[in-house]
Amino acid sequence: MMSSKRGTERHDHKHELQDIMLKYSARRRFMDKIVTIFVIVCVIAAIVPLASILIEVIKNGASAISIEFLTQPPGSLISGRGGIGPAIQGTLIVVGLASLIGAPVGVLAGIYLSEFAGKGIFPSAVRLFNDVLTGLPSIVVGIVGYIVLVLTIGSFSVWAGALSLSIIMIPIVVRVTEETLKIVPNSIREAGYSLGIPKWKITLFIVLKSAKSGVLTGIILSISRIAGETAPLIMTILGTSLFFSSLTGPVDALPLRIWRLASQPYESAHAAGWGAALILVIMVLALSISLRILAQKKGFTVTRTTI
Amino acid sequence: MNIEEITENNLTRSLKTVTEPNYKVSIRGIDAWFGTKQALKNINLDVKENSVTAFIGPSGCGKTTLIRCLNRMHEMTPGAYAKGQVILDGTNIYDKSVDPVIIKRRIGMVFQKPNPFPTMSIYDNVAAGLKLNGVKDKKMIQDIVKQSLEGAALLEEVKNELDKPGIGLSGGQQQRLCIARALAMQPEVLLMDEPTSALDPMASSKIEELIHELKKDLTIIIVTHNMQQAARVSDYTALMYLGELIEYGPTKQIFENPKKELTERYISGKFG
């Protein structure tokens, strides 16, 4: 008699449970739809501003582009003649030099932190300072660059600009390199040790090689970042209407030229500014796309990294 | 290593002075720690040349720690260190004058989970130890790679795909690739840390056959948690428990006529 009583109770719970879960599953599917719509709305909200900026730049800048625009120095502002040749050349030189300094320093520091550093005070300090530097406002970098490099050397120069930009680039590369190397499984290193290969060779020729694509992505993304930095350039390279003449003299650059042109009251200057902005955007886009093509050709995948 | 050094290595091997007759590796009073925790207590053991010696015992008994002390890999773990002597052909590898990097070229190691270098082809994997240790002679590298792949019973299966990536092989093939890679360094001793525990039975038995062949030229020490494997493959067996060596002797004797009670209980499956 006891068991039959208990049997009915259990049977009731089963019905209740099924009812609850049925109601809940209907509500769950409804919530599913709501959240999906919400997510799609968010994606659109994220893409629309980006797309509209691109469209604006293309719309306003396209008309200014011409061979003359791309290769000639600026003429008098009111005439609307001339171009941004020196600015394009300057950007390539300053960003190129900054990358030649920033990439090796950043990668080597990242290798140190990942492979050779222990848990001591020094490595922790390096990591702390690196994290602080990633968030350093670029205007501060510019001011420091001005005081340390421009005032002491005595002139605005390519060196000052390149070094300031590399200060922005290095912490990004360090962080990306360290994190990518950490992902390489330790079993690879052990295999290298067991063959009697010295540690530095294991690090360079085996570990770094495995992390190659991630590190390369980090470097190229940081180059795209510094290509658009204006504040450090204002204070270090001065900007000029002349083509590059010497590493210790002033030079022009696209972000700088855009800013100068936009601050002018003349219509023709604004048009030129839009054109320069379009060129800058195209350069950064070209860098990103060529990275993806390079990655596919060599057969490794571009790993997404955050900076 | 250039060709002169390799020939000299072979020469010194035949002119060697040994501490004990026919013993390739003598372990004397080895204690090992992970930080403050002692993992090995006073291990004393002599490994005969051209034999297969198995270290068996339950999980955590210290057999992997011991094998990693034999090529000075143990101390590479942060906080880990070892004391005592391991005498390879008359040289104590723990002596201050011995370079731990160079010792690993004489004592090779194969790991539990196959770990071929992911960015390299099959050929480059086997050649990695040679190339990264300064061997430049392409013909010599080619010969050694072929020899090593043959020695690892892998050549037939991959001889037309030597430039394919090493990680594209099956598990069993990858492990044989790792064996070939270790053999390319012409080691005198090969340490194998549970080499078949990540493999299926077919692949495992291929490797066991391989061990039989390899012991003609090398001294092999194998860690295994599979007692049947130890019985099949080894000439001598050492039973370890809680960091101590319980019993060591010819495999036949250990399995059929154990002297210690603990050994008898482990063999008959009463614990472990």
Domain that residue A149 falls in? 67-298
Q: Is residue A307 part of a domain?
A: no
Q: For a pLDDT cut of 90, what percent of chain A falls above it?
A: 47
Tell me which of A47, A62, A77 is where a domain ends: A62
For residue A148, the one-letter residue type is V
Residues A51, A150: one domain? no
Cα-Cα-Cα-Cα dihedral sign, residues A58, A61, A66, A69: negative
Q: Do B104 and A195 touch (CB under 8 A)?
A: yes
3-state secondary structure of B88: strand
A39 and A14 in one domain? yes
Q: Tell me the one-letter amino acid at A34.
A: I
For B58-72, write each residue's pLDDT tens digit: 988 999 999 999 999
pLDDT score recorded for residue B17: 41
User: Which chain A residue has its CA at the smallest distance from B184's CA?
Assistant: A195
* B19 close to B90: Cβ distance less than 8 angstroms: yes
Q: Kindly write down the DSSP assignment for every residue of B20-84, as one continuous string.
A: STTEEEEEEEEEEEETTEEEEEEEEEEEETT-EEEEE-STTSSHHHHHHHTTT-GGGSTTEEEEE
Read off the pLDDT of each residue in B258-264 and give the average, rounded to a whole number.
Answer: 93
Overall average pLDDT of the A257-271 stretch: 86
Q: Nearest-CA distance from A96 to chain B in Å?
A: 29
Percentage of the residues of chain B whose pLDDT score is greater than 70? 92
* Partners of residue B129 in chain A, C-beta under 8 Å: 195-197
CATH assignment of the domain containing A246: 1.10.3720.10
Average of per-residue pLDDT values in chain A: 86
What residues of chain B have any CB closer than 8 angstroms to a CB in chain A?
71, 73, 76, 78, 101-105, 108-109, 111, 113, 115-119, 128-129, 132-133, 178, 181-182, 185
User: How is residue B223 written in tokens?
Assistant: 């860690």
Contact A61, A275 (CB under 8 A): yes
Position A303 scores a pLDDT of 47
Domain boundary among A62, A96, A111: A62
Q: Examine the pLDDT at A301 and tell me if it is beyond 50.
A: no
Q: Is the pLDDT of residue A202 over 90?
A: yes
List all residues 6 or more positions away from B20 whose beta carbon is below 8 Å from its beta carbon. B26, B46
Q: Give the Cα separation of B239 and B249 in Å (integer).
A: 9
Q: Do A158 and A100 share a structural domain?
A: yes
The DSSP string of B134-158 is T---HHHHHHHHHHHHHHTT-HHHH
Residues A18 and A100 in one domain: no
The yes-or-no verdict on residue A251 having pLDDT over 80 is: yes
Binned at pLDDT 50, 70 and 90, residue A302 comes out as very low
Which of residues A269 and B144 earns the better pLDDT score? B144
User: For B21-60, what is each residue's pLDDT tens digit?
Assistant: 578 999 999 999 999 999 999 999 999 999 999 999 998 8
Domain count across chain A: 2
Whether residue B139 is predicted with pLDDT greater than 50 in this model: the reply is yes
Confidence check: pLDDT of A49 > 50:
yes
Query: Is there a domain that residue A306 lies in?
Result: no
- Tokens 């614990």 locate to B271
Q: How many CB pairs under 8 A join A and B?
A: 68
| A28 and A148 within one domain | no
Contact A206, A135 (CB under 8 A): no
Specify the pTM: 0.80
Distance CA B9, CA B107 (A): 13
Q: What percent of chain A has pLDDT over 70?
A: 90
Q: In this structure, are A83 and A208 located in the same domain?
A: yes
Among A206-210, B6-10, B189-193, the least confident range: B6-10
Closest chain B residue to A192, measured at CA: B129
If asked whether residues A55 and A74 sit together in one domain, one would say no
Domain match, A53 and A79 both: no
Domain boundary among A38, A62, A86: A62
Chain B residues with beta carbon closer than 8 angstroms to that of A194: 71, 73, 104, 108-109, 111, 182
Q: Which of B1, B64, B117 to mutate to test the interface with A (most CBs of A within 10 A)?
A: B117
At A14, is the pLDDT very low, low, confident or very high (cuts 50, 70, 90)? confident
Q: Does the pLDDT of residue B255 top 70, yes or no?
A: yes
A167/A269 same-domain check: yes
The CATH label, of 3.40.190.10, 3.40.980.10, 3.40.50.720, 3.40.50.300, for the domain at B3-267 is 3.40.50.300
Same domain, A78 and A27: no
For residues B99-125, average pLDDT: 94
Judgement on whether residues A241 and A182 belong to the same structural domain of the protein? yes
Q: Which residue of A has its CA nearest to B131?
A: A197
Q: Do A121 and A269 lie in a common domain? A: yes
